[in-house]
Amino acid sequence: MSQYIHVVMTAAVAFPFIAILITFPILLINYHKYGSIPKWNIFMLYTFVFYLLCAYFLIILPLPPLSYVEHLTTPKYNLKPFTFILEFIKYNPFSPLHPGTWVAALKAPTVIQPVFNMVLTVPFGLYLRYYFKRNIKQTILISFLLSLFFEITQLSGLYGIYPRPYRLFDIDDLMLNTLGGVIGFLLAGPLLRWLPTRENVMKRASSLTENVSVFRRAVAFIFDMIVVFALSIIFNFVPVIRDFGFALSLIILVVIPQIIWGKSLGMRMVRIKVTDQYNQKPLWWQVIIRNIFAYGLSGGLVLVWLKMLELTGTISRSYLGIVHISIIIITVFIVLILADFLLESFSKKHRLYFEHLSKTDTKNTYR
């Protein structure tokens, strides 16, 4: 049991980073296509990613030392179906005439392992039917393909990292995993009457399209930062502009598009734009002030804060007090900015601090 808890804890630590990589394209597409994403869909999507992460870690962890795997002589695969039944008959202590053996029989590996392989993909079948709207035939095929991916991962020695498999490629696992997906599909039937339908969820979400949420802004920001960093890497190879490549990339890809069209690439993707406080196209100086505070002040505070933390380990003791006071002051400003964003998530009419200072607003363009 402790092994499984450790795997789940590992998945929980890795989840935020992997979830962003996996779900960001989905969020981007949904915002561009529908103008909003229901909170229920976000919850389902993130729990699905977390489930897949846990399932994947369960089939690869714990990772043994390379030296241990090099000396393994155990079989690499089992292509004989229903071996788990033969092993149950041969090794399980269960005796129907002796009730004292029943508990021990349930705890035996010949029961726990097959049951685990079935249960592993039950949630997958639930998600396929409810969230992804797959039918029974599609569920069988997709569950089989997921199981095949797991087994190939094991057979390949974690894609060649290990000199040989450290876990058995088992055809029984393919069958049991696929069966688990089917069981999950069948269990989803009774649950459907209690869970909100996609139609109702999307209908409710359409009424919230006009509100530009912090989450929607964040998706646009992340997309902008990806393209800005990509361009700044290219500029890094040009000696003349190397030192200010990031700032130049930000001006080219964010500030100038906002001045001309009222939206950057990221904002265009999620269907939002910058306006003045009267819902008209902002003046050029308003866009510049907005970005100076949004990127320059907010980002600059974080960079200075990190630099100050670094100085605490190298600066002389005579200046240490000044550094500590500076860290406290900067932390207060960062907390106030975060509080401003937090307030934005709870109030539909709230405008962020850099919008007040620049007399701009952020509006929805989805129709």
Domain that residue 105 falls in: 74-208
Q: Is the pLDDT of residue 346 over 90?
A: no
290 lies in some domain:
yes
- Greater model confidence, 115 or 214: 115
Per-residue confidence band for 202, with pLDDT thresholds at 50, 70 and 90: low
285 lies in some domain:
yes
Q: Is the pLDDT of residue 22 over 80?
A: no
Which of 208, 228, 257 marks a domain boundary? 208
DSSP state of 270: T
67 lies in some domain:
no
Q: What is the pLDDT of residue 200?
A: 73
Closest to 71 (Cα-Cα) out of 145, 166, 3:
166
68 lies in some domain:
no
Closest to 157 (Cα-Cα) out of 147, 167, 165:
165
d(CA 59, CA 84): 18
pLDDT digits (tens, 9 = 90+) for 105-120: 888 888 888 999 999 9
94 shares its domain with 236: no
216 shares its domain with 343: yes
182 lies in some domain:
yes
Q: What is the pLDDT of residue 224?
A: 93
Q: Are 266 and 294 in contact (CB under 8 A)?
A: no
d(CA 276, CA 254): 17
How many residues does this entry show for the chain? 367
20 shares its domain with 163: no
69 lies in some domain:
no
Which of 208, 233, 253 marks a domain boundary? 208
321 shares its domain with 191: no
352 shares its domain with 255: yes
Per-residue confidence band for 285, with pLDDT thresholds at 50, 70 and 90: very high
pLDDT digits (tens, 9 = 90+) for 126-175: 999 998 999 999 999 999 999 999 999 999 999 999 999 999 999 999 99
Q: What is the pLDDT of residue 25?
A: 83
Q: What is the pLDDT of residue 207?
A: 58
178 shares its domain with 229: no
Q: Is the pLDDT of residue 214 over 90?
A: no
218 shares its domain with 358: yes
Q: What are phi and psi of 130, to 5 degrees?
A: -80, -55
List, in sequence order, the alpha helices (H) in 37-101.
39-60, 66-70, 83-91
Q: Is the pLDDT of residue 176 over 90?
A: yes
223 shares its domain with 353: yes
96 shares its domain with 228: no
- 3-state SS class at 273: strand
Mean pLDDT of 168-192: 94
d(CA 322, CA 315): 10
Q: What is the pLDDT of residue 239?
A: 86
Q: Is the pLDDT of residue 104 over 60?
A: yes
Q: Is the pLDDT of residue 313 over 80?
A: no
214 shares its domain with 204: no
Give the count of domains, the chain: 3
Question: CA-based Rg of the chain, rounded to a whole angstrom?
Answer: 27
Which of 62, 89, 112 marks a domain boundary? 62
Instruction: Give the range with max mean pLDDT: 10-14, 62-66, 154-158, 323-327.
Output: 154-158
225 lies in some domain:
yes
d(CA 139, CA 126): 9
79 shares its domain with 15: no
193 shares its domain with 320: no
- Greater model confidence, 92 or 348: 92
